[in-house]
């Protein structure tokens, strides 16, 4: 029986997979182009673990089947190329015989210079007697100088296609555009670009139905829906969750894989299970563009544009995506940043919480004799009372000369970023009540908005976190909180309003309670300065 596979390319004989025939044909047609005239040179790009190498292998096989011996096909990988010990371009030339041997089974001498390297593909003086279609995997793992040199050479070959036998070329990696670091601009400006998309809901369903048919174990449709919503169809994550559901945490082949199993797997995926894709994404999120990632957790209206380096980087690496909203006041559509999927957002949120706050409060989260009897009083779940404990905790910190806001990220106007409040309150809730109820961040829009959900048995509580801008914005936030609670079927919601002042009179006036459209909205103002 086949199984799910999430590390490296899938094999349809061994692993569950979908054919994606339209994508394979699209790629093949670009490489072959006009068989008598020449194919295209282009990039195949997508974040890691999304099926780029699988696509390369499928296309190579399809061309071999369709065109027989018309072309010489080669699949070259730059993953094992090491160019650290000397000048990268010279080191790459020394690696060339190994690459040619492993790709085409041919033995050559080390090229003395780039002219000899180019001659490998020359129509009369080169190695080949037929047109060559070449795939180069992990291309953008090479040093920028080598990339610049190679794409310049490939561009020249393309423009002189009658002189060289390099018929079609696919450069496979994370980036859509290559050579942009070059002082000469973008030397690979003859390229096309093919993006490997995520799986569709129908393709995710097909994978689970394949498992169901071969194993005889039923997977509830709601689990399939959850898997797609959680991963947005990211192939590596879909296969990984498939592994966890059907192997490591399988309740038994005679039992249903239901929502209870899914929730258990999801919690373990967030806390105890290793995944290289997730580790790679969280590391990048904490890197040079961390400030922009933090902003995305505090705002749901950040504009998306590939012209911004930070946006381009986070998008190409699979951290963010975008959604296009209705036209703005000038009649134009607007693209807004959102995280690539809720699971990635959850993992980054947890990572940044530990980075910014840590997993321990510097003093006790609650007073030693506080049993929270008024919070968990049996008849309800008093979230405002819990938030008043948080305010008291901040007062105790201040009395000891401890500021949780010291050295935390701030905006250009020196006010704290809203996400800092999210992370700190979330960490405090975990410490204060994490043993008595489930505390989880929820991302209802996928593009920055974060709410904190608390579950205590059958009882639920919602905390919306906002930073104070002005009185009118605070009023609008109350209305939004009421709408959200009503959509969830709840009759109350708590708004944690972080205010950059410490005036007790102001804080008291902002801490209001109001019934809006049948929903009780309680605002707890929290001072942060």
In a domain, 6, yes or no: no
Q: Distance between CA 202 and CA 206 in Å, rounded?
A: 6
- Domain's final residue, options 160, 195, 230: 195
pLDDT at 326: 67
Successive 10-residue mean pLDDT values, the chain, 529 residues: 90 93 94 89 88 93 94 92 80 94 95 95 94 94 89 90 94 73 53 87 97 96 96 96 97 95 95 92 94 85 90 93 74 86 92 82 90 84 93 93 85 75 90 90 65 86 88 91 89 92 90 94 92
Structure tokens at 312: 């381009």
Considering the entire predicted model, what is its pTM?
0.85
* Helix 342-356 × helix 418-433 angle, to 10°: 80
In a domain, 14, yes or no: no
pLDDT at 243: 97
pLDDT at 357: 83
Contact of 463 with 425, CB cutoff 8 Å: yes
CATH code where residue 40 lies: 3.40.50.300
Q: Distance between CA 136 and CA 143 in Å, rounded?
A: 15
387 half-sphere exposure, CB direction, 13 A CA radius: 27
In a domain, 91, yes or no: yes
pLDDT at 193: 84
pLDDT at 231: 96
283 in the same domain as 238: no
Sign of the CA dihedral running 306, 308, 313, 314: negative
250 in the same domain as 298: no
Phi/psi at 504 (5° precision): -65, -35
497 in the same domain as 416: yes
In a domain, 351, yes or no: no
- Domain's final residue, options 152, 180, 195: 195
Residues 6+ apart with CB under 8 A from 112: 93
488 in the same domain as 376: yes
Nearest to 420, CA basis, from 461, 477, 467: 467
512 in the same domain as 434: yes
Domains contained in the chain, number: 4
pLDDT at 518: 94
pLDDT at 267: 92
Contact of 384 with 525, CB cutoff 8 Å: no
107 in the same domain as 82: yes
Mapping DSSP to helix (H, G, I), strand (E, B) and coil, where does residue 72 land?
strand
Structure tokens at 504: 């007790």
In a domain, 8, yes or no: no
- Domain's final residue, options 344, 367, 391: 344
441 in the same domain as 369: yes
pLDDT at 257: 97
**In terms of residue numbers, what domain contains 447?**
357-527
Cβ neighbours around 250 below 10 Å, total = 16
In a domain, 64, yes or no: yes
326 in the same domain as 269: no
H helices then E strands: how many in the chain? 17, 13
Structure tokens at 498: 């972080």
Q: Distance between CA 274 and CA 240 in Å, rounded?
A: 10
- H-run or E-run covering 43: strand 41-45
DSSP 74: E
Contact of 52 with 20, CB cutoff 8 Å: no
In a domain, 5, yes or no: no
In a domain, 2, yes or no: no
Residues 6+ apart with CB under 8 A from 351: 282, 285, 286
369 in the same domain as 516: yes
Beta bridge partner(s), residue 168: 133
Nearest to 498, CA basis, from 375, 439, 369, 411: 411
507 in the same domain as 371: yes
pLDDT at 407: 81
pLDDT at 24: 95
pLDDT at 468: 87
């Amino acid at each position: 029986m086949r199984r799910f596979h999430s590390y490296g390319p899938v094999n349809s004989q061994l692993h569950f997979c979908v054919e994606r025939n339209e994508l394979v044909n699209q790629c093949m047609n670009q490489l072959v182009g006009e068989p008598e005239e020449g194919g295209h040179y282009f990039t195949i790009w997508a974040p890691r673990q999304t099926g780029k190498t699988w696509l390369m292998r499928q296309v190579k096989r399809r061309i071999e089947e369709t065109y027989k011996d018309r072309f010489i096909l080669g699949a070259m990988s730059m993953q094992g190329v090491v160019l650290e010990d000397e000048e990268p371009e010279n080191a790459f030339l020394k690696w060339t015989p190994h690459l040619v041997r492993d790709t085409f089974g041919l033995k050559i001498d080390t090229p003395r210079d780039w002219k000899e390297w180019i001659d490998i593909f020359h129509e009369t003086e080169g190695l080949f007697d037929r047109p060559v279609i070449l795939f180069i995997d992990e291309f953008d793992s090479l040093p920028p100088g080598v990339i610049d040199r190679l794409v310049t050479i490939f561009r020249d070959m393309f423009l002189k296609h009658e002189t060289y036998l390099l018929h079609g070329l696919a450069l496979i990696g994370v980036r859509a555009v290559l050579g942009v670091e070059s002082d000469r601009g973008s030397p690979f400006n003859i390229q096309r670009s093919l993006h490997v998309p995520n799986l569709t809901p129908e393709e995710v369903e097909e994978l689970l139905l394949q498992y169901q048919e071969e194993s005889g174990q039923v997977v509830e449709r709601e689990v399939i829906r959850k898997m797609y919503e959680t991963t947005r169809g990211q192939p590596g994550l879909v296969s990984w969750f498939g592994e966890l559901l059907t192997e490591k945490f399988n309740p038994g082949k005679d039992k249903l894989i239901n929502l209870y199993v899914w929730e258990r797997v999801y919690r373990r995926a967030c806390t105890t299970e290793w995944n290289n894709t997730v580790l790679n994404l969280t590391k990048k999120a904490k890197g040079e563009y961390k400030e922009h990632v933090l902003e995305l957790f505090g705002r749901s209206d950040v504009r998306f544009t590939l012209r911004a380096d930070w946006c381009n980087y986070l998008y190409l690496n699979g951290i963010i995506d975008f959604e296009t909203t209705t036209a703005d006041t000038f009649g134009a559509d607007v693209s807004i940043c959102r995280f690539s999927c809720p699971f990635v957002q959850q993992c980054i949120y947890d990572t940044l919480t530990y980075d910014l706050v840590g997993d321990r409060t510097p003093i006790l989260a609650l007073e030693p004799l506080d049993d929270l009897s008024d919070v968990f009083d049996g008849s309800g779940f008093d979230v405002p009372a819990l938030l008043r404990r948080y305010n008291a905790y901040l007062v105790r910190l201040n009395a000891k000369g401890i500021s949780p806001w010291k050295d935390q990220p701030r905006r250009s106007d020196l006010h704290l970023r809203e996400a800092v409040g999210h992370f700190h309150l979330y960490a405090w809730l975990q410490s204060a009540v994490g043993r008595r109820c489930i505390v989880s961040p929820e991302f209802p829009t996928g593009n920055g908005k974060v709410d904190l959900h608390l579950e205590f048995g059958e009882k639920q509580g919602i905390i919306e976190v906002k930073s104070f801008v002005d009185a009118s914005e605070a009023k609008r936030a109350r209305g939004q909180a009421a709408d959200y609670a009503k959509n969830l079927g709840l009759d109350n919601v708590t708004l944690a309003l972080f205010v950059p002042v410490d005036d007790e009179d102001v804080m008291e006036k902002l801490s209001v309670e109001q019934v809006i459209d049948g929903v009780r909205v309680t605002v707890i103002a929290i001072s942060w300065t």
